[in-house]
Amino acid sequence: MSDRPGLRERKKAKTRALIQKEALRLFRERGYAATTVEQIAEAAEVAPSTVFRYFATKEDLVLVDQFPPFMEALQSVPAHLKPVPAVRAAMRAVLAGQTAEEFAESVEREKLMFTVPELWAASLDNISGVVRTMHEQLAAREGRAADDPELRNVTGAIVGVLMAVWLDLVKDPTLDAAAELDQALAHLEAGLPL
What single string gives the DSSP state of each residue in 23-59?
HHHHHHHH-TTT--HHHHHHHHTS-HHHHHHH-SSTG
Residues 87 and 16 in one domain: no
pLDDT tier for residue 54 given thresholds of 50, 70 and 90 = very high
Structure confidence at residue 3 (pLDDT): 63
* Amino acid 38: pLDDT: 95
**What is the spatial distance between Cα 12 and Cα 63, in angstroms, rounded to a whole number?**
18
At residue 95, does pLDDT exceed 80?
A: yes
For residue 100, name the pLDDT band (cuts at 50, 70, 90): confident
Same domain, 174 and 81: yes
The range of the structural domain enclosing residue 163 comes to 68-189
Asked if residue 105 and residue 76 are part of one domain, the reply reads yes
**CATH number of the domain where residue 130 is located:** 1.10.357.10
Q: Are residues 177 and 147 in the same domain?
A: yes
Query: What's the pLDDT at 71?
Result: 85
Higher pLDDT, 39 or 171: 39
Cα–Cα distance, 152 to 53 (Å, whole number): 38
pLDDT of 144 > 70? The answer is: yes
Cα(54)–Cα(142) distance, integer angstroms: 38
Q: Is residue 2, in this structure, part of any structural domain at all?
A: no
As a whole number, mean pLDDT of residues 87-103 equals 88
Does 63 reside within a domain?
no
Residues 83 and 172 in one domain: yes
The answer on 48 and 13 residing in a single domain is: yes
Q: For position 177, what pLDDT does the model report?
A: 82
- Does 42 share its domain with 77? no
What local confidence, expressed as pLDDT, does residue 67 receive? 67
Residue closest to 141 by CA, chosen among 189, 71, 190:
71
Given a cut of 90, whether residue 157 has pLDDT beyond it is yes
Same domain, 47 and 80: no
Structure confidence at residue 118 (pLDDT): 84
Is the whole-model pTM more than 0.85? no
The verdict on residue 94 lying in a domain is yes
Q: Above 90 in pLDDT, residue 85?
A: yes
Number of domains in the chain: 2
Residue 55, pLDDT > 60, answer yes
What is the mean pLDDT of the segment spanning 43-49? 95
Quick: pLDDT tens for 112-131.
888 888 888 888 888 888 88
Sign of CA dihedral 139, 144, 148, 150: negative
pLDDT for res 42: 96
Q: Sorting pLDDT into bands at 50, 70 and 90, what band is 34?
A: very high
